């Protein structure tokens, strides 16, 4: 293929069937009355949430997340406390038995 490389800017584009529209040019469509663009935009725009509503929504989501984390932490702490209680009971039982073995050797007494 002996063609030299061509940049994308040099490739011709086919004509577009849509007409370009500029804001400064009046629109001329037969049978349709021209309307100012700012008047139609006002009727079509939906009002978004206010800042207060947005913060309330954020706070509700954060509160749900925080409540979930606190619930998980509480369950974890409960599990750890049960484990610590059982562990201390088992260690105490072994210490009571081992304490009896800690008597002084009679061979060393005079």
pLDDT, tens digit (0-9, with 9 covering 90-100), for 9-19 = 777 777 766 66
Contact 49, 57 (CB under 8 A): yes
**pLDDT band at residue 105 using 50, 70 and 90 as cut-offs:** confident
- DSSP alpha helix (H) spans, the chain: 37-44, 51-100
Contact 15, 21 (CB under 8 A): no
Rg over alpha carbons for the chain, rounded to the nearest Å, is 41
Domain boundaries, the chain: 50-101
Q: What is the pLDDT of residue 108?
A: 78
What six digits make up the tokens of 84? 């610590």
* 44-76 pLDDT per residue, tens: 567 888 999 999 999 999 999 999 999 999 999
pTM exceeds 0.75 for this model? no
């Amino acid at each position: 293929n002996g063609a030299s490389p061509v940049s994308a800017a040099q490739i011709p584009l086919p004509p577009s069937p849509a007409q370009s529209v500029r804001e400064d040019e009046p629109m001329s469509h037969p049978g349709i009355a021209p309307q100012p663009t700012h008047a139609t935009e006002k009727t079509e725009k939906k009002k978004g949430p206010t800042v207060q509503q947005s913060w309330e929504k954020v706070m509700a989501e954060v509160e749900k997340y925080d409540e979930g984390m606190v619930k998980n932490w509480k369950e974890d702490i409960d599990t750890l406390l049960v484990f610590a209680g059982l562990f201390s009971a088992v260690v105490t039982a072994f210490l009571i038995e081992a304490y009896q073995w800690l008597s002084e050797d009679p061979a060393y007494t005079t």
